[in-house]
């Protein structure tokens, strides 16, 4: 995804816009149908793309030729959920509207569902935001910052095994995207495979003075480091301020909104924060970026449809 250095100029998408675009379950279902079947619904019985009409008594469409039913919600985050689609869409809207996240408790209060339902929706929506990297970070003139941090617990120093803390490894392309991963530790055996996978060979890499990074040069990277222990945070173009800012955003958000996140769920939270951060220069409203992540999880290939036009 290409970015420039201008400030974001995101188009507004208000609650009034949301309510106008998705006033009822039928409208949500029709949008879902158009999203998942942009070229028409393929009828397995007829073995062809055929015309389908909406079945009034259930959230499905019936083939005009043979009567075979297709359920657009099948295989999506809405699968077998008794919660109305309007509530699901509104929960997505609420999550997308916040910069630092929203708690399941707040979704419960806003939507009127039980806390158990709100938590399930919360988890399912966040599961859409994981992105599979297509290309490594970096390239001509694009330096990449690499840094590690710890989440949760107390105490601990880099390089040591800290039972009460969860290590996180991050990489950030200057004026570009970030990637963050929950790790077992911050040892060479853990960090270098991640760098090799996610940073282009022979790229400029910026780190702090943590000794694990000493071998970057012999591995073909152009290594520049800044010595934080000497209270030096910027040396020319050498700094890790991009990642430091990202870590601060995550810790303020999780600490202030969620208070505590278990290691098992932490990666999904990192995915959410990365998803938002990587779209900070987009003009499209964040809600539309969220909702366009809806897809059938058992699909091998899904054709994208044009972006929704905001009001």
Helices 104-111, 85-97: axis angle to 10 degrees equals: 130
d(CA 267, CA 41) in angstroms, rounded, equals: 35
List the beta bridge partners of residue 147.
Answer: 170
The pLDDT of residue 141 is: 84
pTM comes to: 0.84
- Please report which residue ranges of the chain form alpha helices under DSSP H: 15-21, 25-36, 85-97, 104-111, 115-127, 188-198, 241-253, 263-277, 286-291
Give me the half-sphere count of Cα atoms (radius 13 Å) on the Cβ side of residue 23: 1
d(CA 206, CA 44) in angstroms, rounded, equals: 53
**Residue 259: DSSP 8-state:** S
- Rg of the chain over Cα atoms, rounded to whole angstroms, equals 22
d(CA 202, CA 208) in angstroms, rounded, equals: 18
Dihedral, 294, 297, 298, 300 alpha carbons, nearest 10: 70
The pLDDT of residue 156 is: 42
How would you write 182-241 as a 3-class SS string?
A: ECCCCCHHHHHHHHHHHECCCCEEEECCCHHHHHHCCCCCEEEECCHHHCCCCECCECCH
pLDDT tens for each residue of the chain, 311 residues long:
444 444 555 567 899 999 999 999 999 999 999 999 999 999 999 999 999 999 998 999 999 999 999 999 999 999 999 999 999 999 999 999 988 889 999 999 999 999 999 999 999 999 999 998 889 999 888 999 999 999 876 544 444 445 678 999 999 999 899 999 999 999 999 999 999 999 999 999 999 999 999 999 999 999 999 888 767 678 778 889 999 999 999 988 888 787 778 888 999 999 999 999 999 999 999 999 999 999 987 643 333 333 343 33
Which architecture does CATH list for 144-277? 2-Layer Sandwich (3.30)
Tokens of 57: 């008594």
Judge contact between 310 and 285, C-beta under 8 A: yes
Strands 52-55 and 204-207, how do they pair? unpaired
Strands 166-173 and 144-151, how do they pair? antiparallel
The structural domains of the chain, with segments of one domain joined by +, span 15-37+72-131+282-291, 144-277
């Amino acid at each position: 995804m290409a970015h420039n250095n201008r400030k974001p100029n995101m188009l507004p998408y208000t609650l009034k816009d949301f309510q106008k675009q998705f006033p009822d379950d039928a409208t949500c279902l029709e949008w879902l149908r158009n999203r998942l079947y942009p070229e028409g619904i393929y009828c397995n019985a007829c073995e062809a793309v055929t015309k389908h009409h909406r079945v009034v008594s259930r959230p499905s469409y019936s083939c005009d030729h043979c009567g075979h039913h297709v359920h657009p919600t099948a295989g999506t985050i809405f699968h077998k959920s008794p919660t109305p689609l309007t509530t699901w869409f509104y929960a997505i809207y609420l999550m997308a509207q916040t910069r630092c996240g929203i708690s399941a408790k707040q979704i419960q209060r806003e939507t009127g569902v039980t806390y158990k339902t709100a938590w399930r929706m919360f988890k399912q929506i966040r599961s859409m935001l994981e992105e599979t990297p297509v290309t490594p970070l970096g390239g001509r003139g694009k330096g990449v910052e690499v840094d590690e941090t710890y989440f949760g617990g107390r105490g601990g120093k880099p390089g040591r095994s800290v039972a009460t803390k969860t290590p996180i490894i991050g990489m950030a392309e200057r004026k570009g995207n970030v990637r963050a991963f929950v790790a077992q530790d911050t040892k060479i055996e853990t960090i270098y495979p991640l760098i090799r996978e996610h940073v282009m060979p022979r790229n400029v890499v910026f780190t702090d003075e943590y000794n694990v990074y000493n071998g970057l040069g012999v591995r073909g990277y152009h290594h520049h480091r800044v010595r934080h222990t000497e209270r030096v945070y910027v040396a020319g173009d050498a700094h890790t301020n991009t990642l430091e800012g990202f870590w601060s955003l995550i810790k303020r958000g999780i600490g202030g909104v969620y208070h505590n996140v278990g290691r098992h769920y932490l990666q999904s939270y990192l995915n959410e924060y990365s998803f938002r951060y990587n779209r900070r220069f987009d003009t499209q409203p964040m809600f539309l970026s969220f909702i366009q992540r809806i897809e059938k999880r058992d699909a091998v290939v899904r054709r994208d449809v044009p972006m929704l036009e905001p009001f």
